[in-house]
Every structure is written in C-alpha cells, then in structure tokens.
Structure 1
C-alpha cells in the first residue's frame, strides 16, 4: 500500500471545504471551512502517521494542521518542537488541539507548562495556564494553589482575552476541585466580575467563576 502524500490530503481537504462552516469558524478566529466530524473521519482512516503529520503541519494550512494533530504521535515531539509549534499556532482551534491532544500527552508537558505560564506573549501564556488547569484537576500535588490564586487575583481582570479565559478557567477549577480554596475562589470571582455578563446559551454553564463553581459542585453532589 502506497503512503498517502501531502498533496493527496490537501486535495481531499479542499473537497470538504464548506463556505457556511468557514463563515461560522471565522467568527471565532479560525480560518478553515472543514466540518470537524469529517476531519476526524479522515484522521481515523489515515491512522497514526507521524511523518505525514509533520509535513501537514509545515503547510501552515489550518485544516491540515488540525488533521496533523489527530494523526501524530504526541510523545514523539521534542520540547523545542512543541514550543515552536505553539508559537506558530495562532488560530484558536489549532492552539487548543495542540495543547489538549498533543502537549498534555508529551513527557515535556510540565517543563512547557512552567515556561509558557511566564511567557510575555499572552497567547503562549494561556497555554501554560491551560496546562496548569489540567494539573489542578488531575495532579495537584506540588502545585501552590494559594500562589496561583494570588496571581489570578492580581492579573485576571486586565489580562488579554485569551489569557483571561485560561486564567478564569483555572480559578474555577481550583474552586471546583479543592474545597479548602473554594470560598476564596468564589470571592475572587465575585470581586473581579470577569465574564459575569458573558452570553451563555440555555442549558450551558456560565463561565463566570462563582456560577461555574457552584453549578459543578452541585452536580458532583447529586
């Protein structure tokens, strides 16, 4: 069986392009028009192909990069490679998938978490906070939760949008997962009022931390 080429994949992605999907995605800062369900179907057929994934990433095409993240081997990347990839991943969906599908599964995740969290680029820093939020939920041992709340309290209100969203998620996760810090997390959220008026569809939980924390704790107790 012959290996699939980059040109063949790009041609297939072009046939999946949908103007309506692109219009919706562009409202969220993503420049691609491929339905993600169809993209996942392509990835399922291709299976894991690290070399092809790297070549697709190098094209710079958003749909190709999303596909690359689905067919790569997360543990195969060196720390410097992931750092470079994150700094190139300027669209929200590529950024999110890179962090959640690849970096979290990579052995360098903790080193990258610490480096990125302190990065002057707010988009890069948001990735560090996303990794921190994951640790708050799954591996909190060794984290300075009080120190994290100190930073959030001082910087959340004036943080750029993407970084603010990531820090706010961390605030909520601390309140949800750690009863000893719940009251303080809710208090910080109430005083800062970040995302209090964020439009939330029916049956969805508000990203406003006090409501988010209270709702998730309620669900856990049901």
Structure 2
C-alpha cells in the first residue's frame, strides 16, 4: 500500500477500532482504540511516507499521530518542528513514541535535550530527562551524573507524575551505570521512596529505584 491519502488511512484506523483496546489504553491516559500490533502492521504496509505522516500528525487523532511517527523520516524534521510536536503531544504514548522513535534519531537531539531538560512545562521537561537517561546509558561523556543526582534529590519527590517518572528512571540508570555513585543513588531512592509501592507484576522489575538498580546490576553479573 503506497501513496495513500489521509482519508484512506483514517478509514483504516476507524475499521481497527476496538472498544476493549480503548478501555485498556484509557487506563494509561491514551485516547485511542487501536491495537498497537495492528497499528504497526499498518505502518509496515504503508512503509515510509513522510508527507503523509506530516498530514496525519495534523489530525486530532491519537492513533493517526502514532501511525505518523512510524512512517515519517525522523531526520527530516527541524528542531522547531520537533519542539512544536512535543508540545502538542497530548497523550503519554504519543509523547513516548515521539521521543523514542523520532527525536532520538534527529540530528537536533542534543540541542533539544538541553532545551527541554529545564523547561517550565513538566511534560516537556520529562522528555529532556528521558533523553538524558538515554545518554547516561549510551553516551555519558560530558554529562555530570553527580549533578543530576543533586537535582533528583532536591526535586523528584514533589515533581508532577510524568516528570517524576522520568527523573526516577534517570536515578536508576545512574545507579546501574556508575558504580561509584551506586550507593548514593540507592540512598536517594530509599529516602524519597518514590514508586516504592508501585504495583508490579511478578515477572516485571519494580520501578522503585533501589530494587531496579539491584536487579539490573545482578543480571549483568550473571
């Protein structure tokens, strides 16, 4: 399927609407009813169509925006484009996919990381923290992990939920990747108690930083 029109794609998305999927998604703050495996299958069939992706993004439909992120050319977007897209990403899944699938592949990623990190909008700032966490894991040179811990210790406890989650991920990643800071990272997690009681399935790792750090370090030593 190539050179599709927006109307054709929206019709396909409408046909994939599943009330059960919508109910599950809405529990996580996402307002769409398309099974993500089926959405990915549609994207695979459409292949890369950047112009179509741009048009789909301008719709007010979360499923259309998610599809747009799968069929776009990430490196084509300008820094201003990506900043505007992030600020218009209303739902968690769109936000996550935009950062993970598009911004991380952009030549503007580091500029955006720095700009978003201290943004007054906590949802935008959470993207900056997510990109910082990615650098902690993959490209730590030039970062100040001890300084990041200072900010986390001072601000994470009272941060809005989405920003708190991103800061907590960074805390855990620093503890995992930096042995010299591991004791401090664990201590911060224990003192703040963020996500300590988060309901976690038996086969998943708790997002509570001390447990998360211990589990990941143990896996690497096996």
Provide the TM-score with structure 1 as the length reference: 0.99
For the pair 1:107 / 2:107, whether they are aligned, the reply is yes
The equivalent of 1:60 in structure 2 is 60
For the pair 1:183 / 2:175, whether they are aligned, the reply is no
Shift of 1:216: 0.3
> How far apart are the structure 2 equivalents of 1:43 and 1:157?
39
Moved over 6 A (4+): none
For the pair 1:200 / 2:200, whether they are aligned, the reply is yes
| SS of residue paired to 1:132 | helix
| SS of residue paired to 1:33 | coil
> How far apart are the structure 2 equivalents of 1:132 and 1:71?
25
| SS of residue paired to 1:141 | coil
Long gaps (5+) in structure 2: none
Shift of 1:2: 6.6
> How far apart are the structure 2 equivalents of 1:150 and 1:213?
18
The equivalent of 1:140 in structure 2 is 140
Shift of 1:60: 2.0
Aligned length: 222
> How far apart are the structure 1 equivalents of 2:11 and 2:66?
15
Provide the aligned C-alpha RMSD in A.
0.9
| SS of residue paired to 1:207 | coil
Shift of 1:180: 1.1
Shift of 1:178: 1.0
> How far apart are the structure 2 equivalents of 1:82 and 1:2?
25
For the pair 1:15 / 2:15, whether they are aligned, the reply is yes
> How far apart are the structure 2 equivalents of 1:212 and 1:10?
40
The equivalent of 2:209 in structure 1 is 209
Deviations 1:76-104 (A, max 9, x none): 10000000000000100000000000000
Deviations 1:56-76 (A, max 9, x none): 000121000000000000111
> How far apart are the structure 2 equivalents of 1:40 and 1:90?
20
For the pair 1:86 / 2:91, whether they are aligned, the reply is no
Q: After superposition, where does 1:17-166 map in structure 2 within 5 Å?
A: 17-166=17-166
Provide the TM-score with structure 2 as the length reference: 0.99
Deviations 1:121-175 (A, max 9, x none): 0000000000000000000000011110000000000000000000000000000
